[in-house]
């Protein structure tokens, strides 16, 4: 809207200059009155446009739709800055328009342009400049204080619970390894690209990387935290609203950075416990000959080199743990929904979907592929 009125203002200025110099209007300017008639109707649309804009703030990957205290602190300071800075923008534009208008009015009278110091003009100018400086410092001070308070609130969550649920996240090119810490190794859960957390519980994420810098970001829950090779970073969140939220790597980390997403499932304590207990189990053993054939295909192909299926000989750690792959919502780090067709295409030629990832093409025949898909889909 600002740009439009700015353009319109520019256009009408040029129009008056042009008319003075040449005494006629080019055809584009003859359309100006009709264009101006459209302005009131455009203004009538403003409320709907504003609502549309605000509705864009909601969603499963939005900092402005906070589902926990951390994201809420960040959203508040964002709105505060938006309102203050928008007000400054409007005021500055209004003053600019006023100055332009006054300059044009005084220029109409040529004799006024002769240099002649205006009585009291200098002291008025210095008052104006001082006021401007004071207001600027005051506004910057407000922003500084609110930014400091937000930072302090963000850290308060870490101190409020000495024994949070701790999840180790390792950034890989281009997926996320997820490990739930536990004093007993048999109670640790390893999964990939999907994090389940109970609603209302404080969760500590320990973040590291094995290759390049990534950044862990779930906009609905918290700001970004970088994963730096050779360093363990920590961040704390609490989700107060059950739901499924999308996280995204927020630091350019190579070819498939944009396809390095993950899912955070916030659920009740019972649902979480149910999920966790299921994840602790070893993979289901093949219940029929078709599934047994699928497992055989997995064990005798390149899959076994990179993936782990707990309870089998597959123990690779290059790619995601597949022990309960069928229980996940997406595959390929949030790139595809976890459907049979997507899984098939991914296995056959993942390079066509996510070029540069470390999984080679697997040209399987139809029967083997079908058996492998049956087997993978049985790993709930």
Q: Which residues bind ligand CUA (CB under 6 A)?
A: 171, 174, 214, 249, 251-253, 257, 260
For the bound state, the minimum distance from the C-beta of residue 142 to ligand CUA, rounded and expressed in Å, comes to 34
For the bound state, the minimum distance from the C-beta of residue 356 to ligand CUA, rounded and expressed in Å, comes to 12
Residues facing residue 375 across a β-bridge = none
Comparison of 228 and 280: residue with beta carbon closer to ligand CUA: 228
Q: How far apart are CA 123 and CA 130, in angstroms?
A: 10
CA atoms within 13 A on the CB side of 374: 19
Comparison of 262 and 346: residue with beta carbon closer to ligand CUA: 262
Q: Which residues contact 76 (CB under 8 A, 6 or more apart)?
A: 150
Q: Are 321 and 311 spatial neighbours (Cβ–Cβ below 8 Å)?
A: no
For the bound state, the minimum distance from the C-beta of residue 239 to ligand CUA, rounded and expressed in Å, comes to 22
For the bound state, the minimum distance from the C-beta of residue 209 to ligand CUA, rounded and expressed in Å, comes to 8
Q: What is the 3-state secondary structure (H, E, C) of the chain?
A: CHHHHHHHHHHHHHHHHHHHHHCCCCHHHHCHHHHHHHHHHHHHCHHHHHHHHHHCCCCCCCCCCCCCHHHHHHHHHHHHHHHHHHHHHHHHHHHHHHHHHHHHHHHCCHHHHCCCCCCCHHHHHHHHHHHHHHHHHHHHHHHHHHHHHHHHHHHHHHHHCCCCEEEEEEEECCEEEEEECCCCHHHCEEEECEEEEECCCEEEEEEEECCCCEEECCCCCCCCEEECECCCEEEEEECCCCEEEEEECCCCCCCCHHHCEEEEEEECHHHHHHHHHHHHCCCCCCCCHHHHHHHHHHHHCCHHHHCECCCCCCECCCCCCCCCHHHCCEECCCCEECCHHHHHHHHHHHHHHCCCCCCCCCCCCHHHHHHHHHHHHHCC
For the bound state, the minimum distance from the C-beta of residue 214 to ligand CUA, rounded and expressed in Å, comes to 3
Comparison of 294 and 320: residue with beta carbon closer to ligand CUA: 320
Comparison of 142 and 258: residue with beta carbon closer to ligand CUA: 258
For the bound state, the minimum distance from the C-beta of residue 178 to ligand CUA, rounded and expressed in Å, comes to 14
Comparison of 214 and 328: residue with beta carbon closer to ligand CUA: 214
Comparison of 250 and 372: residue with beta carbon closer to ligand CUA: 250
For the bound state, the minimum distance from the C-beta of residue 255 to ligand CUA, rounded and expressed in Å, comes to 10
For the bound state, the minimum distance from the C-beta of residue 324 to ligand CUA, rounded and expressed in Å, comes to 23
Comparison of 173 and 220: residue with beta carbon closer to ligand CUA: 173
Comparison of 221 and 253: residue with beta carbon closer to ligand CUA: 253
Instruction: Give the β-pairing of 165-172 and 202-209.
Output: parallel
Comparison of 214 and 354: residue with beta carbon closer to ligand CUA: 214
For the bound state, the minimum distance from the C-beta of residue 253 to ligand CUA, rounded and expressed in Å, comes to 3
């Amino acid at each position: 809207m600002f740009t439009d009125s700015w353009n319109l203002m520019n256009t009408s200025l040029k129009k008056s200059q042009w008319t003075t110099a040449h005494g006629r209007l080019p055809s584009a300017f003859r359309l100006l009155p009709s264009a101006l008639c459209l302005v009131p109707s455009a203004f009538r649309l403003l409320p709907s446009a504003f609502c549309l804009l605000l509705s864009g703030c909601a969603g499963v990957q939005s900092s402005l739709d906070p589902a926990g205290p951390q994201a809420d602190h960040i959203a508040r300071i964002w709105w505060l800055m938006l309102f203050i800075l928008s007000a400054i923008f409007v005021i500055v534009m209004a003053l600019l328009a006023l100055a332009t208008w006054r300059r044009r009015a005084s220029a109409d009278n040529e004799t006024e342009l002769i240099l002649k110091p205006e009585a009291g003009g200098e002291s008025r100018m210095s008052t104006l400049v001082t006021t401007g400086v004071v207001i600027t410092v005051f506004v910057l001070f407000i922003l500084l204080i609110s930014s400091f308070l937000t930072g302090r609130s963000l850290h308060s969550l870490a101190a409020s619970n000495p024994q949070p649920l701790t999840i180790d996240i390792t950034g890989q090119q281009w997926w996320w390894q997820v490990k739930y810490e536990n004093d007993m190794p048999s109670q640790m859960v390893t999964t990939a690209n999907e994090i389940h957390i109970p609603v209302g519980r404080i969760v500590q994420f320990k973040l590291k990387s094995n290759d390049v810098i990534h950044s862990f970001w779930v906009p609905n829950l918290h700001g970004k935290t970088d994963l730096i090779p050779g360093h363990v970073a920590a961040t704390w969140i609490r989700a107060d609203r059950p739901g499924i939220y999308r996280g995204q790597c927020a630091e350019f980390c190579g070819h498939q950075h944009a396809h390095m997403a993950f899912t955070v499932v916030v659920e009740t304590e019972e649902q979480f416990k149910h999920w966790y207990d299921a994840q602790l189990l070893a993979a289901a053993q093949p219940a029929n000959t078709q599934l047994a054939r699928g497992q055989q295909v997995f064990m005798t192909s390149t899959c076994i080199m990179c993936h782990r299926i707990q309870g089998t000989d597959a123990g690779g750690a290059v790619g995601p743990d597949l022990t309960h792959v069928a229980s996940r919502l997406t595959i390929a780090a949030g790139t595809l929904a976890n459907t049979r067709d997507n899984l098939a295409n991914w296995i056959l030629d993942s390079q066509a979907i996510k070029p540069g990832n470390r999984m080679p093409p697997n040209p399987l025949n139809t029967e083997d592929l079908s058996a492998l898909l049956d087997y993978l889909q049985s790993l709930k």
